[in-house]
């Protein structure tokens, strides 16, 4: 009876209360059966008195168990809703951070492009200013009637060289801006279109050149021509950009040289892209974690841990493909990407 009287036990041991209720119920049934079999026994009188009490105790105990069960269900549902809300909030935060990471990457490209444009634009302005001064000098000489044939020939030769210099610099500027514009539009809008894979990678590497040429590293584009995709060039550009950044930051850290090679070919109707570097490689215990969100070994140096997670997300969710990684210490890392030539009509984005 201590189980019934001890409220502390009732609060924390509903399973015991339930077992006790079943025991009482069995006892009540046994007593009723005994009374039925022995109607003339003196115990019948006590059974008649005890049965209602036992039934009452059983009802109370079962009611308590049901109440605790409903309370536990409510608590479980509340915790489930809290966890669901927390997960949704974390998912939104991760998506926002991923977008910020992409925009930060694009912002880095903008800074590099602006820095790179300074040289051709500066050269163009200097050449134009020099040509303007030479024309003024020629005009003054002509007006004074002292213009000689040799002076005119010298001016024409110099003017042609200056114009060629201006054209080269403006062409370089135009090419850089055109490629950057295409890369920026693709990456910010995730626009789907038909494109040649080699051309997209050439545009991307051209845009990345201002960043890469300040390092001792080399990028080789060995993608074969004629690989036509109906997909998302911006996503592919983001993938290669993140992989290149990953190689420079992690694979080539403190190295005086390094080579990145990008290859692609058609395999069984799909496109197989192989990205490899000859950097430090990735330890076995870290290899299985590199695609996890927020996993980074460079947190104190500004790493977000989202670069490779974005890569995997774009490949699997948007492009409908898969990615594998192989690595050997001091020999480098290889990422093998396989995507369909035609991206899925509907994606998770």
Three-class DSSP category at 234: helix
Sequential DSSP letters for 159-196: HHHHHHHHHHHHHHHHHHHHHHHHHHHHHHH---EEEE
Instruction: Look up tokens 């140096």; give the residue.
Output: 301
What does the pLDDT read at residue 86? 73
Backbone angles phi, psi at 216, to 5 degrees: -90, 20
What does the pLDDT read at residue 332? 94
Residue-wise pLDDT tens digits, 77-109: 887 888 777 777 766 665 665 555 555 555 666
Give the Cα separation of 102 and 118 in Å (integer). Answer: 25
Give the Cα separation of 250 and 18 in Å (integer). Answer: 61
**Is 101 within 8 Å of 307 (Cβ atoms)?**
yes
Model pTM score: 0.55
Contacts of 218 (CB under 8 A, 6+ apart): 257, 258, 259, 260
Residue-wise pLDDT tens digits, 153-195: 888 888 888 888 888 878 777 777 766 666 665 555 567 889 9
Among candidate residues 179, 161, 296, 183, the one with its CA nearest the CA of residue 233: 183
Flag residues of the chain having pLDDT under 50: 1-12, 300, 302, 348-349
What does the pLDDT read at residue 11? 45
Sequential DSSP letters for 282-307: --HHHHTTTTSTT--S-GGGT--S-H
Token pair of 20, please? 């006790």
Pairing of strands 217-221, 258-267: parallel
Contacts of 293 (CB under 8 A, 6+ apart): 94, 305, 306, 309
Give the Cα separation of 52 and 268 in Å (integer). Answer: 80
């Amino acid at each position: 009876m201590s189980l019934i009287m001890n409220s502390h036990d009732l609060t924390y041991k509903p399973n015991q209360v339930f077992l006790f209720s079943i025991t009482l119920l069995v006892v009540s049934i046994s007593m009723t059966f005994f009374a039925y079999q022995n109607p003339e026994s003196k115990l019948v009188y006590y059974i008649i008195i005890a049965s209602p009490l036992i039934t009452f105790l059983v009802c109370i105990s079962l009611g308590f168990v049901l109440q605790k069960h409903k309370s536990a269900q409510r608590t479980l549902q509340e915790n489930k809703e809290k966890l669901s809300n927390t997960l949704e909030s974390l998912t939104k935060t991760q998506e926002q951070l991923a977008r910020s990471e992409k925009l930060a990457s694009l912002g880095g490209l903008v800074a590099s492009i602006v820095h790179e444009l300074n040289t051709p634009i500066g050269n163009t302005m200097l050449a134009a200013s020099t040509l303007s001064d030479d024309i003024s000098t020629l005009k003054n000489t002509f007006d004074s009637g002292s213009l000689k044939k040799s002076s005119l020939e010298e001016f024409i030769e110099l003017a042609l060289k200056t114009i060629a210099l201006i054209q080269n610099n403006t062409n370089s500027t135009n090419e850089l801006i055109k490629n950057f514009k295409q890369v920026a539009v693709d990456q910010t809008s995730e626009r789907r279109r038909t494109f040649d894979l080699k051309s997209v990678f050439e545009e991307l590497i051209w845009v990345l050149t201002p960043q890469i040429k300040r390092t001792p590293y080399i990028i080789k584009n060995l993608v074969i021509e004629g690989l036509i995709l109906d997909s998302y060039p911006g996503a592919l550009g983001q993938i290669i950009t993140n992989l290149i950044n990953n190689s420079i930051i992690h694979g080539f850290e403190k190295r005086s040289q390094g080579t990145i090679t990008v290859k692609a070919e058609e395999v069984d109707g799909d496109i197989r892209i192989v990205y490899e570097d000859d950097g430090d490689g990735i330890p076995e215990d870290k290899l299985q974690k590199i695609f996890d969100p927020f996993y980074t070994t460079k947190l104190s140096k500004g790493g977000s841990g989202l670069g490779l997670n974005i890569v995997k997300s774009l490949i699997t969710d948007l492009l409908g493909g898969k990615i594998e990684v192989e690595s050997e210490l001091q020999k480098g890392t290889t990422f093998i990407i396989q995507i369909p030539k035609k991206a899925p009509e509907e994606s998770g984005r």
